[in-house]
A and B are shown apart, each in its own frame.
Chain A
């Protein structure tokens, strides 16, 4: 095996099974494994590696390579150990003379059609074919091409007479991250099976048969980039040879060691091995024992890490007097004292509450904790907010009110037990691809799917997956649809009365039942509002209520509405009505947008909550922190992001420390954000790049990437995963150190030397984290909070015996239409989302080769709407709302219904948020990104705003050459 891989990471050959124990004997060693395990895996458990090529433990056995043959006493022949299940008392021999001879013969045939350029091959040292040739003792290949018979092989481009070999195919380098070299292929089908079983895309196949069999992406004439391939890397991971190989390995060589860490993209929180060659990161491979991803990955985590070394990255601190000045590179001391003096000066002039912070959902728990501590302990106010405000704040509020905890109820593995899955306002195959693969695997095994989304997302129909019901609701009518489902469940008597009586507040339920039974909530009554066929809606509700294990997964399409919190509560009601809480396969599961949204919320980033969701008004809670920090904490909640911006425009809010978030691009109503930022006198941006917000900044503190620091991220399943330093910070300091230096420059006396100490402080002050420390994370790999004396190893499933708040609470969910309405001037509804290859505002992914899949944001428009406007595929169109206008290219598709248009927000020059309004969730101010009334018309170029903005940005990004 590969010697740079840590021992417990070896390939067991076939997937693990669950079953009654079976004992057998292999080469004289007794081994006990679950029933259904293959002989190959049982041998591996006993430490015996049976030679193999076509088997790998990420996919089911295939039995094609015939290298893993064994002898079983009392059975005829030499069965393949990968496809032979164990039986009690079985006696297996893996290395008899006969087997050795057979294996050597098989290898000889393989090698007869494989080039012998091992020394210069990119997989040298990382090739299973090479390993197996060694393991079986192959010394000679007797097969040669017949005289005058042409080259009977696939690997020589030309024969000695320089005639082309028709069986030879050139390398396919179309994918930016990996290459496909057919000349090295042994046609073991591992890539094809990985694409089907692990990723669920079915982009690969074996074309032809016999000697003509070749791996093929897509149909005839397709290459990898042109096929359905989503570049998840599962095929590359599965390939035993150099056939499918990372280009980084081809360029830099194989790794010599690896560090296990956590991906910094979406809220799935995949574990990766960062593989190193010297001090160079040469590859990221998904970690098999990562509990969130179980060895799978997507194009972002697997390949899109190059932004860490992108030329745009700023590595020195910079300051400027006014935002119209060019930037000046300065020392850390100068930048920090400049920032500290300005902030203190602003407080002296405009009051203690005139400055604040924004924490980042992309930074670690420890860093977030420090930033809110900076506000509370050093600034002396509660002006801390986080980008979770603009995504999942309604989740925190809604689930807190109904269940008692602000988090999802399950772990991702729970979906393996689901029978009916509802996906609402989420697009997992693009936003949370690794979870989507897991979900699709379950759907292929027979679970039913209900999709509630204005757009026909890929899950509605893609190879081998088809939703039983797609309810294409009009944007903004989530509450009406969810309530109508509850109406069907209650009026048709499909609820789980036992569960409601024992687990929920019965009086509140009766009140709710009376409310929801009102005919105005019936699917027929709300059809006019929602556009959803009432029969479909009834069928979907019945399916969910009667389908044994019903699970709900939802995303920002639920929360980013003026009634986001209400929808979350409506979803919680559905789960409680049907008893779908507290066991594997059920639950209510928010799919978090960013890697550490959950953690940022847990760490007290909100202006009204100290870490652990405890209100600042509570003197007891304040006391815990006050005694530890030696300061007095303001009992009044501070400002939320929109309030900060409003106050800035009014002149009462003057200074902001913004870590790792680009509020100008990501927050709604860009013009308002720009006005707020421009009105401030000290904006400190702490980021990797000169982002859009930095155009309005006075201090730029260069940040560090997830590869350059230690810490923890908490994913959507409450799992606390370790982030480990892989390379030293290129900017000099990890982000937590920079926050500490800023705090100390302002007079604090912090002295953390490692994030582990910050976690100790979090555990000390926050009950749900009480049992968490780095030693435990080292031992367990990860834990899911709550982790304390009651749950020393964490809590994969919540609310098992009772709700955290005691009794589940039904809350009445009255539908109130948003104030954002279509009319003659703005007749279409715009909704926004994202795409697989890009992440959030794109600051990272736009600086990687992922741009080959998504160069620009496109406006999806239904062909009918396009036709009446004279818009054709690829035309530039003007997209205008009451807030502003921008231009982008249109693409015609019936994925969106007539009346609805859709775009992504990954590119700053599109500025989709110029269009979005400042309407927001009634409870949490989460902006209503998902509904904007717009008009679309033909255009011939950028809007005035885009031109002004581009000019301002160019001016604001000037950096003075460093003094010689």
Chain B
């Protein structure tokens, strides 16, 4: 992951790798996010040109998926579930405490760039509510203490 502005050539290489696919837009967006940690703005005109779609169409697709970012996230992404089962098991309080501890709001990143906190609506772990996810790891029965350990682990 790099915070520098991605080079046109690098974006073009990713586009070229996917153009043969049927319905290449989502694979391209995933690949860009994989490579750059976000879908860089500079890629938009290149995508619309390569796929011959309008910028409105591209905007419609990117904005539909909450996971596509327009700027890089912190080094780690923490998602806290806010769906019904987790709320009933105290996730609202857990989330509020976590945000307060880190001094950020939803979608915010800690000043040291370690953690970005995001809401998520159901991780499929309702039986182990409240649930959270740190990067690719799903976690059940998260309480404030466990959250503290996770955050420490992530360097927040």
Chain A interface residues (CB < 8 Å from chain B): 201-209, 216-220, 222, 227-228, 461-466
Contact = CB atoms under 8 A, between A and B. Distances in A.
B44 interface: yes
Contacts of B3: none
Nearest to B70: A220
Given A205-B57, A463-B57, A220 B63 contact: yes
Contacts of B64: 207-209
10 contacts: A202-B53, A202-B57, A205-B59, A205-B60, A207-B63, A219-B44, A219-B59, A463-B48, A463-B57, A464-B52
B60 A216 contact: yes
Interface string B54-84: 1111111001100000100000000000000
Contacts of B44: 219
Contacts of A227: 55-56
Contacts of B60: 205-207, 216
A203 B55 CA distance: 8
Interface residues of B, number: 14
Contacts of B58: 219
A216 B57 CA distance: 10
A218 B52 contact: no
Contacts of B52: 461-466
Contacts of B53: 202, 463-464
Contacts of A203: 54, 56
A220 B59 contact: yes
> DSSP majority for the A interface?
loop
Interface string B94-113: 00000000000000000000
Nearest to B56: A205
A201 B54 contact: yes
B82 to A, nearest CB: 14
User: Most B CB atoms within 10 A — which of A216, A219, A220, A462?
Assistant: A219
Interface of B: 44, 48, 52-60, 63-64, 70
B34 to A, nearest CB: 22
Contact of B56 (A208, A209, A217, A464): A217
Contacts of B48: 463
Nearest to A212: B63
Contacts of A220: 59, 63, 70
Contacts of A222: 55
Contacts of B70: 220
Contacts of B57: 202, 205, 463
B88 to A, nearest CB: 16
B38 to A, nearest CB: 14
A67 to B, nearest CB: 24
B100 to A, nearest CB: 19
A219 B54 CA distance: 9
Contacts of A201: 54
B45 to A, nearest CB: 10
Contacts of A204: 56
A203 B59 CA distance: 11
Q: Closest 8 A-B residue pairs measured CB to CB?
A: A205-B60, A202-B54, A205-B56, A207-B63, A463-B54, A219-B59, A219-B55, A209-B64
User: Most B CB atoms within 10 A — which of A201, A222, A463?
Assistant: A463
Nearest to B63: A207
B46 to A, nearest CB: 14
A220 to B, nearest CB: 6
Contacts of A464: 52-53
Nearest to B51: A463
A566 B59 CA distance: 48
A463 B55 CA distance: 9
A222 B44 CA distance: 14
A462 B53 CA distance: 8
A217 B57 CA distance: 10
A216 B54 contact: no
Contacts of A207: 59-60, 63-64
Nearest to A208: B63
Nearest to B66: A209
B62 to A, nearest CB: 9
A8 to B, nearest CB: 34
Contacts of A209: 63-64
Contacts of A218: 55-56, 59
Nearest to A462: B52
A201 B56 CA distance: 10
